[in-house]
Amino acid sequence: MFDLDEHLANDTVEVGDMPLSRVLLMKDARFPWAILAPRRPGLVEFHDMTQADRRDLMEEAAIVSAALRKLTGATKMNIAMLGNVVRQLHVHVVARSEDDEAWPRPVWAVGTPFPYAEGEAEACALALKSALGI
Amino acid sequence: MFDLDEHLANDTVEVGDMPLSRVLLMKDARFPWAILAPRRPGLVEFHDMTQADRRDLMEEAAIVSAALRKLTGATKMNIAMLGNVVRQLHVHVVARSEDDEAWPRPVWAVGTPFPYAEGEAEACALALKSALGI
């Protein structure tokens, strides 16, 4: 049984499900920031996934990356699996711009999340969902 | 023609070549930190690679991740493609421990690199090369 980590659930709104991953949008208006969590129980390290799941996960990450890039016109996409705080395996896909708060540093541990206006996170999630065709 | 970015070359010692990627070790004694640079000219975004290259790159990253984990006994592996500073596509594979300088934050933009003792980076690179069988 797949259960989404509580921190991930609290920090995001749901975008939708791709064949392997649940796609989420971080509730941080500073950065267009998606997260993919493969719907498999107990995953922690990328190297402990099956080869087929690794391939599927990274293909889904590439699709999300291309979609977010197109939606935002970002300068550079950042893709990362960290997991130091939340161990459940998840992939960050973040659209970066030269005028964003953290540039050129990574987004993690920089400043504090800025809340979206009422309904805006859901609207962004819907735009991404539509771009992904899911 | 593949040319390794000058910053990547300056900041690393060479480990060796896997079928797709050149494997490098960051000259920062604070973290066991490998970098994979696929030997293809002009790559910037993961989503712009061919599907086959994406698969091969991430399989090589998984192999390096498992090897570094085994060599170091790390608590958690971090895998990331950022590219905000160096645009040539490269994958960071970093072995993290709860007592390292940046934990639990990511390693980028934290403090300053600490030099390895004379010959130590090369010894680490050789240990990784041997573990990878390359």
Query: CB neighbours of A101 closer than 8 A, spacing ≥ 6?
Result: A30, A31, A110, A111
Q: Which of A46, A55, A76 lies at the smallest CB-CB distance from B65?
A: A46
ipTM of the complex, rounded to two decimals? 0.97
Whether residue A78 and residue B80 make contact (CB cut-off 8 A), yes or no, is yes
Cβ-based interface (< 8 Å): residues of B facing A: 44-47, 49, 51, 54-55, 58-59, 61-63, 65-66, 69, 75-85, 87, 96, 103-106, 108-109
Domain boundaries of chain B, sorted by first residue: 6-123
pLDDT digits (tens, 9 = 90+) for B27-83: 999 999 999 999 999 999 999 999 999 999 999 999 999 999 999 999 999 999 999
Residue-wise pLDDT for B34-43, tens only, equals: 999 999 999 9
Contacts of A79 in chain B (CB under 8 A): 46, 80-81
Average pLDDT rounded to a whole number, residues A83-87: 98
Chain A and chain B share a number of CB contacts under 8 A equal to: 102
Instruction: Kindly identify which residue of chain A lies nearest to residue B56, measuring between CA atoms.
Output: A55
- Residue B109, sorted as left (phi over 0), alpha (psi -120 to 50) or beta, turns out to be left
B62 with A80: Cβ contact below 8 A: no
Residue B109, pLDDT above cutoff 90: no
Average pLDDT, chain B: 97
Q: What percent of chain B has pLDDT over 70?
A: 100
The confidence band for A109, taking pLDDT boundaries of 50, 70 and 90, is confident
Q: What is the pLDDT of residues A122-134, one digit of tens each?
A: 999 999 999 999 9
CA-nearest of A25, A21, A27, A12 to A90 is A21
| Banded pLDDT at A97 (limits 50, 70, 90) | very high
Is the confidence at residue B1, as pLDDT, over 90?
no
Chosen CATH of B6-123 out of 3.40.50.1100, 1.10.238.10, 1.10.600.10, 3.30.428.10: 3.30.428.10
